[in-house]
Amino acid sequence: MAKKTTAKLKAKKDIKKLKKPVKAEAKKIKIKKQVSKKPEKKEKNKTQKKTPKEKKKKEELKKPEVKKTNKKEKTSKPKKEEKPIKEERLKVKEKKEKIVVKTIIVPPRKIPEESAEYKKLRTEIYKILKERFLPISLIDEIINKIANNKDLMPKLKEIIDRVSIEYHKNLVDPAEACGIVSAQSIGEPGTQMTMRTFHYAGVAEINVTLGLPRLIEIVDARSIPSTPMMNIYLRDEYRLNSDLAKEVANQIEITKLNTIADIETDLTNLVIIVKPNVKTLKNKNIIIDEIANNVKKIRGIDAKIEKDTIKVTLDEPSYKKLLDVNETLKDLKVKGIDGIKRIIIRKEPNEGYVIYSEGSNLEKVLEIEGVDPYRTTTNDIQAVGRVLGIEAARNMIIQEADNTLSEQGLNVDLRHIMLVADVMTTDGSIRAIGRHGVSKEKESVLSRAAFEITVSHLLQAARRGETDQLGGVAENIIVGQPVNLGTGAVELVMRSSKKRGIN
Amino acid sequence: MAKETHKQEFEIMRHDLVPLHEVISEEEKKQLFEDLNITPDQLPKIMDTDPVSISIGAKPGQIVKIVRKSHTANEAVAYRLVVESND
């Protein structure tokens, strides 16, 4: 509303400026300017937004500052961010195609707060703990137990002490070879995976690689998984309405020209006639102009719309070219997102409609209106790393590896998988475990040589004149020294006659 | 015939997979290295071109505090050193 009125006001102003450049009018304009001062600011914002990408970057950069310097900045911009307006829409007209691009800022989801009783218990526990550390999951468990059984309340201090002692007893000792433990813990159950594993199992007709091949894929950090797949969740309005869900699915699924139209080649006149099927067009919500626009993008041809058909003529008559164009037309993308081959919509309990897709393209799918960008995921770990960052990729590795293992009925402790994920993501990019990734970047020459391609590594090291610090396991075994692990890692041992304090 | 296409924007920081990231102050940084008895390069890294780094405006040399949602500990704190990406 406000925008419209300002637009009108501006228009009026302009007209007046043009028509009556009289001094008397100037006063009126002045008054109007004062009135429309506030909305004018919005106008400014509007113009800024015309480059949505730039604006996004700016906002993203501004965000952390806003958080910190909340007191300082309370101008018009942060105010707007405080309540993300759902229908923040703006129109950027693209000249040629007459397509209006609207940008919607999706409001983040709210996380429910915990009750006052729990909060009070939490602060109390922290008071008792003082400097000692307990993981929040344990504290949560204590709170849950006590909230259900009020008799335990007086024993709170004792409970916490005991939990704390038990927790610190079970921590990994310093210099323990946790990597080897991890490798064995994943490797041993992995041997049992081989039997059924080369089959595919599907979530609703979509085939997904499972078992050992998938586990190898995750650990190898492949750029494209062999069966990319996405779980596309929908926003509130869309997930409960089947029509809206279908609409979103139509926008995502790739539609090629030969699935919606008959393509006929007229060899005598050297003309190709594209006859779209009117029914499917309606189903998929495509207009013929869209197809024509896409067809025109092919080089060296001209397309004209004639009633319900599109007539494609060549710039230069050539028999071979005609057949080539015919082939490209068949494969022409009319609608949808590259890489998404097939889509299945399913109704899930407690969720509504969820879209599963064969093929994956996270960047593009998240931009489709109606998709819930805060929950949609893909099994393409590299894509997750690209779009959502290294920490998200770490989470995805853990999730995927755990799912593949538990799907086979193997219980590997999550901590082992977490260690693997940590190693893969330590340097900020996703590295494979093995010759091409982690092992390649080991510092020690002997350790690298012990792993694979021994001669080449030794040769290279000799050429570069590398030194080996003998810090790792493999090196020390090769030279016959105690390994720098466990008890071997300690040079000076203190007597623990003093009562060992917790923490 | 004008047809509308819609594009939506969102904050990547709010995605389910992305934990809370925070650039820590210089004092916190000092305290951290004192507590852990390490040098900055011993920390895991995060690229400055990482979408999250861009989103929170982290610069090379700064430390990012990450509060992970962990399955075993519910919440776990980790730190990453922001480094320049080499490509």
CB contact under 8 A, B5 and A135: no
Percent of chain A having pLDDT more than 70?
A: 73
What CA–CA distance (Å, rounded) separates A262 from A309? 10
For residue A73, what pLDDT is reported?
38
Q: Which residues of A touch B75 (CB under 8 A)?
A: 135-137
What CA–CA distance (Å, rounded) separates A426 from B39? 15
Closest partner residue to A105 among B9, B23, B47, by Cβ?
B9
Q: Sign of the C-alpha dihedral, residues A201, A205, A209, A210? A: negative
Please report where in the chains the tokens 């209106």 appear, as a residue.
Answer: A369
* pLDDT of A241 above 70: yes
Tell me the mean pLDDT in the region A179-193: 86
Please write the tens of the pLDDT for every residue from B34-68: 988 899 888 999 998 988 998 888 889 899 999 98
CB contact under 8 A, B9 and A104: yes
Band (A242; pLDDT cuts 50, 70, 90) = confident
Q: What is the pTM of this model?
A: 0.73
Three-state DSSP at A183 gives helix
> At the top level of CATH, which class does the domain B19-83 belong to?
alpha beta
Band (B15; pLDDT cuts 50, 70, 90) = confident
* pLDDT of A227 above 70: yes
Nearest chain A CA: its distance from B23 CA (Å): 9
Q: What are the extents of the domains in chain B?
A: 19-83
For residue A398, what pLDDT is reported?
92
Residue A180 tokens, joined: 């080897």
Closest-CA residue of chain A to B13: A388
Tell me the mean pLDDT in the region A468-496: 81
Q: Please, are residues B78 and B44 in contact by the beta-carbon 8 Å criterion?
A: yes
* pLDDT of B83 above 70: yes
Please write the tens of the pLDDT for every residue from A29-86: 444 444 444 444 444 444 444 444 444 444 444 444 433 334 333 333 333 344 444 4
For residue A312, what pLDDT is reported?
80
What CA–CA distance (Å, rounded) separates A433 from A319? 53
Adjacent-strand bridge partners of A343: A357
CB contact under 8 A, B2 and A98: yes
Closest partner residue to B74 among A137, A289, A367, by Cβ?
A137
Closest partner residue to B18 among A56, A287, A389, by Cβ?
A389
> How close are the terminal C-alpha atoms of chain A, in Å?
61
* pLDDT of A413 above 50: yes
Q: Which residues of B touch A64 (CB under 8 A)?
A: 23, 56-57
Strands A99-105 and B45-47: unpaired
Task: Classify burial at B71, counting beta carbons within 10 Å of its beta carbon; exposed 0-12, middle 13-18, buried 19 or more.
Answer: middle
Residue A434 tokens, joined: 């093995």
CB contact under 8 A, B1 and A289: yes
For residue A102, what pLDDT is reported?
62
Please write the tens of the pLDDT for every residue from A354-370: 888 888 888 888 888 88
- The number of beta carbons lying within 10 Å of the beta carbon of residue A369 is 18
Candidate from A106-110, A395-399, A499-503 with smallest mean pLDDT: A499-503
Q: What does the longest C-alpha to C-alpha distance in chain A come to?
A: 102
Q: For residue B8, give the nearest of A312, A372, A395 by alpha carbon.
A: A372
> Chain-wide mean pLDDT for chain A?
74
Amino acid at A27: K
For residue A199, what pLDDT is reported?
54
Q: Please, are residues A284 and A250 in contact by the beta-carbon 8 Å criterion?
A: yes
Amino acid at A118: Y
* pLDDT of A4 above 80: no
Please report where in the chains the tokens 């060992």 appear, as a residue.
Answer: A500
Tell me the mean pLDDT in the region A255-277: 81
Amino acid at B68: R
Amino acid at A350: N
Please write the tens of the pLDDT for every residue from A298-337: 777 777 787 778 888 877 777 788 888 888 888 888 888 8
Please write the tens of the pLDDT for every residue from A377-402: 898 899 999 889 999 999 999 999 99
CB contact under 8 A, A135 and B21: no
Candidate from A111-115, A420-424, A463-467 with smallest mean pLDDT: A111-115
Q: Which of A20-34, A135-149, A273-287, A386-400 has the highest mean pLDDT?
A: A386-400
Could you give the domains of chain A? 2-101 (no CATH), 123-169 (no CATH), 258-335 (3.30.1360.140), 442-489 (1.10.150.390)
For residue A484, what pLDDT is reported?
83
What CA–CA distance (Å, rounded) separates A67 from B22? 10
Residue B53 tokens, joined: 């780094």
Query: If you count them, how many residues does chain A have?
Result: 503
Q: Please, are residues A85 and A350 in contact by the beta-carbon 8 Å criterion?
A: no
